[in-house]
Amino acid sequence: MHGPYPHPIIAREGWPFVIATATVAILSTAYFGFTGSVLVWIALAFVVQFFRDPARSIAGDRMSVVCPADGRVVSVGAAHDPWLDRPALRVSIFMNVFNVHSNRSPVDGTVKKIWYHAGSFLNAALDKASLENERNAIWLQTESGSDITCVQVAGLIARRILCHVEPGAHLARGDRYGFIRFGSRVDVYLDPAAQVCVALGDKVKASSTLLARLPGHG
């Protein structure tokens, strides 16, 4: 999935929204003039910035875990991974409406299983959103046998989580695998022995910020 950029500037998930909003803006301007349509043009600018999906450099090596999303680190600590039923180290990243919302694989690994659960739409910055909100989890296993659970969590506004991979797919870290429309969160569950490279409150970028090093990494 590495290689030529597949959807320049705007994520493929956003084109229907951009086209629809641009059409309304053009028609509104034709009928009411720019002054009467300024709010629609502001809405178009918001839609374009929300669905932007810039190319990114990929941090680390095959034993590294990179951030799967842009945003701010809102939780780092010991937790129970409910998907693999194991003790884990969880790092949570909150995305506000001004962050890039394209989600990328945190590791080089194979998708072993995917779980989807409908749920509530609490503020994604709240810790209980990880257990109560709409969410989609993927279990990734690296060649060295490390298990990583990456969970897309819907937010207060979000109503659609998109996941474009299926079990058996191989992902390189930084590969795009999904998108969450509007404010949301991504939780990453790691082996408790992993070395976390981010701290609470850090602002991070998908793929280009190193999240952690897997156990045994030299």
Instruction: Read off the tokens for 45.
Output: 């600018």
How far is 147 from 144, CA to CA, in rounded Å? Answer: 9
**Residue 9: φ, ψ to 5°:** 70, -55
Q: What is the pLDDT of residue 122?
A: 55
For residue 138, the one-letter residue type is I
8 Å CB contact between 65 and 174: no
Instruction: Read off the tokens for 40.
Output: 């629609």
Band the pLDDT of 118: cuts 50, 70, 90.
confident
Instruction: Read off the tokens for 193.
Output: 């022995």
**In the sheet that 184-190 helps form, which strands lie side by side, from edge to edge?**
170-171, 109-117, 135-141, 147-154, 184-190, 86-95, 71-81, 203-204
Band the pLDDT of 106: cuts 50, 70, 90.
very high
Question: Taking 60 as the threshold, does the pLDDT of residue 3 lie above it?
Answer: no
Catalytic residue among 37, 92, 105, 184: 184
Question: Taking 80 as the threshold, does the pLDDT of residue 120 lie above it?
Answer: no
Band the pLDDT of 4: cuts 50, 70, 90.
very low
Arithmetic mean of pLDDT, 131-153? 90
Share of the chain above pLDDT 90, in %: 61
Arithmetic mean of pLDDT, 56-72? 93
Question: Taking 60 as the threshold, does the pLDDT of residue 130 lie above it?
Answer: no
Band the pLDDT of 155: cuts 50, 70, 90.
low
Q: What is the pLDDT of residue 162?
A: 87
User: Is residue 184 flagged as an active site residue?
Assistant: yes
Q: What is the pLDDT of residue 124?
A: 46
Please return the burial class of 156, using the count of CB atoms within 10 Å of its CB with bins 0-12, 13-18 and 19+.
middle
Q: What is the pLDDT of residue 7?
A: 53
Question: Taking 50 as the threshold, does the pLDDT of residue 2 lie above it?
Answer: no
Average per-residue pLDDT in the chain? 87
Arithmetic mean of pLDDT, 15-31? 93
For residue 11, CA distances in Å to 20, 125, 154 come to 15, 24, 18
Band the pLDDT of 91: cuts 50, 70, 90.
very high
Arithmetic mean of pLDDT, 109-137? 73
Q: What is the pLDDT of residue 83?
A: 95
Question: Taking 80 as the threshold, does the pLDDT of residue 217 lie above it?
Answer: no
Q: Which of 95, 180, 104, 178 is nearest to 148 (CA)?
A: 104
